Amino acid sequence: MKNRFFFLFLSFVFSCYAQQGNNDVIDNFSQLSYEEMIDSFYNASELKRKESFLKSILHRAKKEKDTSHIQVAYYLYSNIYNEQQKDKAIIYLDSVISLAVKTPNKNFPAIAFLDKGSILHEQRNFKAAINSFLKAHEYAELYYNELLFYSSNYHIAKLKDRIGFHDEALKIHRENLKYVKENIDIIGEYSHLNSIFALAFTHKNKRNLDSASYYNKLGLKLSEKYNIKGVIPFFNVNEGVILYLKNDYSLAKEYIEKSRNYFLEKDDLPNLSEVYFYLGKIAYDQNKKNKAIQYFKKVDTIFNKLNDLFPELRENYILLSKYYKANNDLKQQLFYTEKLNEIDSILNNNHIYISDYLKNEYDIPKIVSEKEELINSLKKTNASKTTYIYITVIIICLLIIFFYRRQKKFKRRFEELVQNTKDKHTLEVNTKINKEPKKKIKLDVPKDLANTILIGLNNFEENKGFLDANMKLSNLAELLGTNTNYLSKTINYYKGKNINLYLNDLRVDYAIHKIQEDSKFRNYTIRAIAKDVGFKSSETFSKTFYKKTGIYPSYFIKQLENNTLKLKTKRDIKS
């Protein structure tokens, strides 16, 4: 849902201004007070009239060197261009910021950073948007503006949700909803609905479908109660996706179709892409492949315009490629496979930047801020609480030290992992048949049969059968022509691990090798890599990777990219 915080904010900043309802042309405008001039601006309905009033306000403010009203004029200019001329709006917001950072106050420059971030977010410029939102958050916190603090937190949580930090996003959205409920008379009903939708959307992304449905239905009910119709299409699409995930295709389609025309009229391409994708998914799952492909191609058209999609919509290109592969159209299959690589590169690039930036500019400063607050409290507290607060401060300091040391440990483990794979490829170690186990335990399987199973396992590993995400003990036993009991005992005896650990270790080893050797593979999202190497979820892949190597795959990829960049720079200098 588009940000309407501006209207709420103005009700505070200009609440002292008269609202006299003067729609007539003002003949002697220069003799009016600033309050009357701004009142005339609000009552003007045409853009040219508004521009004329603002021009007079700005001229007078500059003449009188009245910086505060110059800022107000620039900010009002940004407002009238916010919908149709967003680049022009950003120019005026930058003018507000350049003035306000010299003499900041409770409202400026925080509100300007916030509005700028909202526009950049709509333009899919996430890197610049996160910078603006964090600046808004910084000034709102510094000058104790709870309203702006709430709004900047809302946008930060949306970006956390986008890159997969759903739990962290939910925590912020819950705090925001609580704040809105406590201040609804001031903040308004629209913000209440906005906070409910944010919770419903993030719960849906995390696949907490019952919670998502609860908040979604609550939002629809309150939208009718508040008579705010503009938010209903967003709730309808979200409910449609939830129903699709629950396999209720008929009702899902009904909810999604309700919103299509609204997003078409508003030219809301990001939400329209979600509408087309899930209508395509419904058709695809109902075996209406030709109809599904039409919808998926509409998603591709939107991607070509925006150069961005919601992360979950990357599946659009997997299904397109799969469709053309089944129809032996190699040209189209290659085309959409390359498109998939392109979107993976964009999503992964945004993910790494936003993740690192939030960690450095939001999460760590938040920990440090909490530590400073505790120290300040320590000076005011009585003697009976002193020990408790000191312990708490020490714990927070230890957490910061732990975080720093963990980063150093990650780097050391990365270097060891790279060195180990250089010395001897991990997969080669795995595919060797261990002649004797480390522990002297009874095999309880005929020796000839065990050798046959080991040969079969060797072939299985060489053929990379472990990349099948559905591979399990029963499948492997059938593949090797033995029973699950003998196979399990043989793997435990010779490999020193159970079947799940055996398969997952092979997958991680394969992932390490491919990430190092294939630069294109490094541009995939973690979810895509996990799926490619045989894991059913990115969470399981990341945990298994960490357990085996001591670092996370995202860190491994980032360090490899850094090393590649450093090597390229050295070569360029030498040449």
Q: At what angle do helices 269-285 and 249-266 cross, to 10 degrees?
A: 150
Angle (CA) 501-506-510 rounded to 5° is 145
The pLDDT of residue 357 is: 44
CA distance 306 to 308: 5
Closest CA to 356 of 163, 563, 569, 140: 163
Residue listed under structure tokens 């979810």: 527
- Look at residue 244 and tell me whether its pLDDT is greater than 60: yes
Is the pLDDT assigned to residue 355 strictly greater than 60? no
**188-207 tens-digit pLDDT:** 999 999 999 999 999 999 99
Residue that the structure tokens 């120019």 belong to: 91
Q: What is the reported pLDDT for 83?
A: 81
Convert the pLDDT of each residue in 363-413 to its tens digit.
445 444 444 454 455 455 554 556 666 677 787 777 777 666 666 666 677
Q: Which of 30, 39, 33 is nearest to 59 (CA)?
A: 30
Location of structure tokens 């850094």 = 562
- With vertex at residue 343, the alpha carbon angle to CA 339 and CA 349, rounded to the nearest 5 degrees, is 145
> What's residue 371's pLDDT?
41
Q: What is the pLDDT of residues 480-501, one digit of tens each?
A: 998 988 888 889 888 888 999 9
Structural domains for the chain: 1-153 (1.25.40), 164-266 (1.25.40), 426-574 (1.10.10.60)
At 18 the three-state DSSP class reads coil
pLDDT of residue 507: 93
pTM comes to: 0.57
| pLDDT tens by residue, 28-72 | 566 778 888 888 888 888 888 888 888 888 888 899 999 989 999
Give mean pLDDT, residues 241-269. Answer: 94
Q: Where are the beta strands (DSSP E) in 71-176?
A: none
DSSP 473: H
Question: In whole angstroms, what is the distance from residue 551 CA to residue 560 CA?
Answer: 13
**Token pair listed for 159:** 């970006």
H/E run at residue 292:
helix 289-306
pLDDT value for 403 = 63
SS3 of 44, please?
coil
pLDDT band at 335 (very low <50, low <70, confident <90, very high): very high
Percentage of the chain modeled with pLDDT above 70: 80
161-554-340-167 Cα dihedral, nearest 10 degrees: -20
Average pLDDT rounded to a whole number, residues 111-128: 88
Whether 39 and 48 have beta carbons less than 8 Å apart is answered as no
How far from chain centre, in Å, is Cα 214?
Answer: 22
DSSP structure string for 318-335:
HHHHHHHHHTT-HHHHHH
